[in-house]
Chain A
Amino acid sequence: MALSAVGKQSSLHRQRRKTGFLFSLPALGLVGAFLGIPIYQALYFSMTKWDGIIAEWLGPSTYINQFKSPIFWRVIENNALLLLAVPVAIILPMGIAYVLNDKIAGWKIFRTIYFLPTAISWVVIGMVAMRFFAQEGLLNDLLKGIGLGFIKTDLLSSERGALLAVGITFIWSMVGTNSIIFLTGMATLDISLYEAARMDGASSFRIFRSITLPQLKRFIQFSFIITVISAFTALFTLIFVMTGGGPGFGTTTLEFFVYQSAFSRGNFGTGAMLGVILFFIMAILGSAQLLLVRNKE
């Protein structure tokens, strides 16, 4: 009797493990086939000259040659410059969330409006941004309106200007996401701390710095990660629509360079290699972030 109960127990356990294994196989198979295998292939093909059909093995020298190319460093420089947009894309939404959290009149409507771009394709955002920055666009109308008509910029026609335009559009589109992250964070704040601080006569700024900011640490980290990842991997569409990577290599970022090398120039090996480099940059940034969090705790 007892024995059969134990037997039933262990057969149930076996059944549970078996079901668990079978249930998780489809997800693992899908991810393995479409993301796992290709990342290994990318590693292999990155050391070949590959036109998509025939691959000729060249070895690690492909990387060394790439690192000697000034165009490659120009592309990395563009990525680095775009990172300058990250602090703005975090601090501005933090201020917005702070005001919204204060339940300013109409804050729910404001929230919906600020978050709206999250639903819009980068294709659409890019098209409008292009018109905004164009010579006969709104930016110049605005400048004229405030008496600065003599400036008349055409941001998209110069290399640095075009990168600036992409950066500004990037900040614009991150405002909603980051505001929501901080708003969620501020909703979790401990109110009793505020009351105590106010009773002690602390100034608003002091309260923000000493109470709000430390409690928001986790949310700041999260929005930082999301924004950096977006800066490296989410701008393809924006660049594709707004500038096509130009003028020259002015707005070619690493992710765009992957596409350009493979699909415009037919160098699939080089494209694969640039993808691998992007993967390693993201992995290094990810582990650095992880280490930082660990050390602080």
Chain B
Amino acid sequence: MKRFSLGRGFTFVLMLTLAFIMLYPFIFMINTSFKSKAQFFGAPGHSLLSWQKVFTALPVGRQLINSTIVCAGAILIILAVSSLAGFALAKLTFRLSPIFFLGIVGAMLIPLQSIIIPAYINASHLHLLTGYWGAILLYSALGTPFATFLMTSYFRGLPDDLIEAAVVDGLSYTAVFRKIALPLAIPALVTIVVLQFIQIWDDLLVGLLFLQNQDYRTITVGLGALAAGRTTDIPVLMAGSIISAIPAIIVYLIFQKQLVNGLTAGIGK
């Protein structure tokens, strides 16, 4: 019995150490952001200097709004097209629906880097790079395959009788979708929102290329550009990192369960 609890104690210490390693970036960010540049290089004490400087180094407010606009736009489009397609492919099957399903969901296999160059040139010809639309549309297209997969499997779980009964009662299929199917699918929709929010909020590559106008940059892109540039003011970068990370962390802490559901949805039953 004693040996047993000793083993458990050892495991617990191991898990604590690991927790420290996983939390280290956060501790480092917070600690460093409350230092001036000189303090970061060894001078003692803490200060608020970097927190004052970050607002001039990065247009934080503007970029947070940009992130919100891009996320909201893309997520709304993803929700609309994937819930419609998911309902259709699960419940309103037609001759071509297996091919449609394969075409939409199969696109998950295409790595972003494989299409980004032609997509970038196309968007530039269509003048989509100077506003928000290029990024919003590409994020939507990238999120749609998995979201459609999720919605299709969710709607497959609804009993057919439910839909047929409503149709026999005189509702159109559009009304059935709007009034019956969609309200039942809210848990799946929330999962998609959480998953996509974190993905789009945290993304660098698409934003870097598709938001050419600096005033339209998201906070992550602004930070990435600043970090890759010549800036060596680490405390300011860390203050910026904290600001950029907070929205995603809040969403994570509230919707942890939905995030897990979304991540493990691909395993199947």
Contact = CB atoms under 8 A, between A and B. Distances in A.
Contacts of A20: 88-89, 91-94, 97, 173
B165 interface: no
11 contacts: A31-B145, A36-B107, A41-B118, A42-B115, A99-B11, A119-B252, A120-B202, A121-B201, A123-B224, A177-B263, A236-B204
B234 interface: yes
The 5 closest A-B pairs by CB, nearest first: A20-B92, A34-B141, A23-B88, A119-B252, A121-B202
A127 B15 contact: no
A52 interface: yes
B111 A279 contact: yes
B227 A241 contact: yes
Interface residues of B, number: 95
A104 B8 contact: yes
Given A38-B119, A119-B252, 5 more contacts: A15-B173, A20-B88, A21-B96, A105-B12, A118-B263
Nearest to B97: A20
A227 to B, nearest CB: 13
Interface string A12-54: 1001111111111011101111111111011001000000100
Given A110-B15, A114-B22, A279-B111, A268 B96 contact: no
A116 interface: yes
Given A121-B245, A176-B22, A237-B204, A36 B103 contact: yes
Contacts of B124: 52
B241 interface: yes
B186 interface: no
Interface in A257-288: 258-259, 262-263, 268, 271-272, 274-276, 278-279, 282-283, 286
Interface string A208-223: 0000000000110010
B11 A268 contact: no
Nearest to B194: A119
A113 B19 contact: yes
A275 B118 CA distance: 10
Contacts of B118: 37-39, 41-42, 45, 272
A15 B170 CA distance: 13
Interface string B81-95: 110110111011111
A177 B137 CA distance: 27
A232 B114 CA distance: 12
A278 B118 CA distance: 15
A164 interface: no
Contacts of A254: 113
Interface string B186-198: 0000000000001
Contact of A30 (B23, B141, B201): B141
A162 interface: no
Contacts of A121: 201-204, 220, 223, 244-245, 248
B54 to A, nearest CB: 13
B244 A30 contact: no
B106 to A, nearest CB: 9
Contacts of B80: 26
Contacts of B244: 121, 123-124
A110 B209 contact: no
Nearest to A177: B263
Contacts of A36: 103, 107
A181 B252 CA distance: 16
Interface string A119-151: 111111111110110001010000000000000
A125 B117 contact: no
A131 B121 contact: no
A279 B22 contact: no
A42 B114 contact: yes
Nearest to B167: A12
Nearest to A136: B41
